[in-house]
Amino acid sequence: MSRINEVIARVKETYGKTEPEFVQAVTEVLESIKPIENKHPEFIRANIYERMVEPDRVIIFKVTWEDDQGNLRVNKGYRVEFNGAIGPYKGGLRFRRSVNLGIIKFLGFEQIFKNALTGLPMGGGKGGSDFDPHKKTNNEVMRFCYAFMSELYRHIGPYTDVPAGDIGVGAREIGYLYGAYKKLRNEHTGAITGKAYEYGGSLIRLEATGYGLLYFTEEMLSHRGESVEGKVAAVSGSGNVALYAIEKANELGAKVVFASDSSGTIYDEEGIAGEKFKFLKDLKEVKRGRIKEYAEKFNVPYFEGKSVWDVIADEGIKVDIALPSATQNEIHKRHAEALVKLGVIAVAEGANMPSTPEAIEIYRDAGILYGPAKAANAGGVAVSGLEMSQDAMLLQWTREEVDERLRKIMKHIYREAVEAAEAYGYPGDLMVGANIAGFLKVAKAMVALGLF
Ligand code: NDP
């Protein structure tokens, strides 16, 4: 049996029942890098494949906080420092009821290769909590963040491990988390990214994942003689990634007709643009309302309990570009079949692992453009890397400067993926290319570092 197959089998046997998302991510990456196995005997000698799937460190802690009624509540906190071979651990924090170790490990594992692809010196990590900020008051969120950081602060730092946001951790949460970190450490450093500009953040960080997703999509399309302009797009979610994906898609001349939250989906045939987009942004970023209110305000169809992909499949609505930007495993086989049948040109992933393996197989068999998450959504962590650089220099670049660097990084990622795919016999396959390019960089560093 090949070494890679042995490692996949061992991970399935050990975590198949308890950590399915982690097994899914490991299987996807390792299956797709098989073309490198015979060409790099040094990775087998150094047992890289097995070492790569084992986190450097897993930290699990108790978070006790007080709600507004004076009750003491308890949640679990996690930080998985997965691989620090090429730089400080780097990856977001997710606050959501469904968070568990397997989800954090899958996200941390993906993050290793995504970060490597950016060309910046960042290792991979991820963290979070099963705390859900929905329906909590501001004060409760603040008290939770301070309690969470009262444990996490001893494990992180600008050259050790640098968290950022993810689902449930936006500008407000980052502010409280960084406030707690500053208070506990009495220092002002780039130990967290996604900070607001006023207290050491980078311009464009807020927008970076969504903007980067569109820069990547534009790059994919342009190599087929197409462009985003004039295309009809579906975005799922209405959080950080989704909102700025919609904003940039509008700017590039596309029409975005779908958005969603975990309660349902809206379909606006005219496009979520101009005043309508402003309303949505305010609804989600400021008022923290539900997407249903958009449908009520503008009198457009709302589908309670359905995802964007359910609506596309059930109603037979054609889009040219699909940008899943909500959560993992949101596009299943039947959704992918419907997208392809209805004539989608490209799927680019804003969320992490939003397509199931069966869905990915359908995209690839159909020959549509497919931008895998670790390449297509790397813009967020890339600008986080730029935020770390600015913090280290005690400088803040202009919007134009950061945006220009983001564009260059997304082009660089695309090129790396294309070249690796070509070099290993899978021309045009961005999933294989992105996995191989990211893996090679980290594996080479691990070999060079010896027992690290
Ligand atoms: P947010 O919390 O800002 O937004 C998430 C959005 O997706 C919300 O609209 C939320 O709805 C919806 N959503 C979340 N979970 C589910 C679910 N299980 N079913 C249906 N809808 C759901 O998170 P982000 O925008 O930051 O993250 C979205 C995705 O992008 C995640 O996969 C994340 O890992 C990935 N990502 C984020 C980056 C970043 O910089 N923020 C960087 C790279 C990837 P509701 O409000 O109802 O919960």
249 in the same domain as 175 = no
Q: How would DSSP label each residue in 368-413?
A: -EEE-HHHHTTHHHHHHHHHHHHHHHT----HHHHHHHHHHHHHHH
Number of domains in the chain: 2
Question: Residue 385: what pLDDT?
Answer: 98
Q: Which of 90, 105, 126, 374 is catalytic?
A: 126
Ligand 1 atom 2: residue of nearest CA: 167
Task: For residue 141, tell me if it sits in a domain.
Answer: yes
239 in the same domain as 122 = no
Show which of 351, 367, 383 is a domain's final residue: 367
Burial per residue of 326-352, b for 16 or more beta-carbon CB atoms within 10 angstroms, e otherwise: bbbbbbbeebbebbbeeebbbbbbbbb
Other CB atoms within a 10 A radius of the CB of residue 449 amount to: 12
Bridge-partner residues for 72, per DSSP? 66
Query: Distance between CA atoms of 58 and 19, rounded to whole angstroms?
Result: 14
Task: For residue 427, tell me if it sits in a domain.
Answer: no
CA of 239 to the centre of ligand 1 (A): 6
360 in the same domain as 258 = yes
List the structure tokens of 74. 């308890």
Query: Distance between CA atoms of 173 and 33, rounded to whole angstroms?
Result: 37
Question: Residue 279: what pLDDT?
Answer: 98
105 in the same domain as 75 = yes
269 in the same domain as 155 = no
Ligand 1 atom 23: residue of nearest CA: 167
Active site includes 126? yes
Of 381, 391, 405, residue with least CA distance to 202: 391
Where the chain has pLDDT below 70, the residues are: none
168: domain CATH number? 3.40.50.10860
Task: For residue 355, tell me if it sits in a domain.
Answer: yes
Task: Give the tens place of pLDDT for each residue, 283-322.
Answer: 999 999 999 999 999 999 999 999 999 999 999 999 999 9
CA of 240 to the centre of ligand 1 (A): 7
Other CB atoms within a 10 A radius of the CB of residue 408 amount to: 13
Task: For residue 395, tell me if it sits in a domain.
Answer: no
CA of 87 to the centre of ligand 1 (A): 26
Question: Residue 452: what pLDDT?
Answer: 83
Task: For residue 429, tell me if it sits in a domain.
Answer: no
Task: Give the tens place of pLDDT for each residue, 334-354.
Answer: 999 999 999 999 999 999 999
234 in the same domain as 169 = no
- Whether the Cβ atoms of residue 94 and residue 173 lie closer than 8 Å to each other: no
268 in the same domain as 157 = no
Helices (H), 153-282: 171-185, 205-222, 240-251, 274-281
Task: For residue 129, tell me if it sits in a domain.
Answer: yes
Question: Residue 97: what pLDDT?
Answer: 97
Domain hosting 130: range is: 3-187
Question: Residue 1: what pLDDT?
Answer: 77
Task: For residue 425, tell me if it sits in a domain.
Answer: no
- Ligand 1 touching residue 261 (CB < 6 A): yes
Question: Residue 375: what pLDDT?
Answer: 98
